[in-house]
Amino acid sequence: MKTAAQLTESFRAQGLRVTPQRQCIFRLLQGNDSHPTVDSLYDSARAEMPTISLKTVYQTVHDLAALDEVELLDLGTGSLRVDPNVEEEHHHLVCTNCGLVRDLPLDVSSVRLSAKARRGFDVRAVEVIARGLCATCVAEGV
């Protein structure tokens, strides 16, 4: 993901409005590897900017996704997760107890799907989701 200043430029170049509320979201996503939900981003943003609305957070996140600056992931945790790490190809570890999502560096370029298995399907991407318990949940004896 670009820096908040670069994102401001990109948004303006696309004719999108850049407000202090939107810049607050840019900052909150910068280097954020927690894969926050829109709701948790909203909570963090409200702590800094009490007047920000959930709608603004949604709109900003969707605009960022349209510019390929974030990826919106449905990892089966109940809500969309915002992933600003669009530079490094990666997969995900998902905690089935607390919903923690962590990046999983993994090379799947060697995965070959046989024609028989694909049954005519034109495969464009392979995503790996490793599910289990995070270190915290393991330590708590879940």
Closest to Zn ion by CB, 53 or 136: 136
Closest to Zn ion by CB, 9 or 140: 140
Q: How far apart are CA 73 and CA 86, in angstroms?
A: 12
Q: Are 106 and 128 in contact (CB under 8 A)?
A: yes
Closest to Zn ion by CB, 20 or 31: 31
Could you tell me the smallest distance in angstroms from the CB atom of residue 96 to Zn ion? 8
Q: Which residues bind Zn ion (CB under 5 A)?
A: 83, 85, 95, 97-98, 100, 103, 134, 137
Could you tell me the smallest distance in angstroms from the CB atom of residue 40 to Zn ion? 15
Could you tell me the smallest distance in angstroms from the CB atom of residue 85 to Zn ion? 5
The one-letter amino acid code at 74 reads D
* Nearest Cα to Cα of residue 133 among 81, 96, 78: 96
Closest to Zn ion by CB, 59 or 99: 99
Q: How far apart are CA 10 and CA 5, in angstroms?
A: 9
The one-letter amino acid code at 23 reads Q
Q: Are 25 and 44 in contact (CB under 8 A)?
A: no
Could you tell me the smallest distance in angstroms from the CB atom of residue 9 to Zn ion? 24
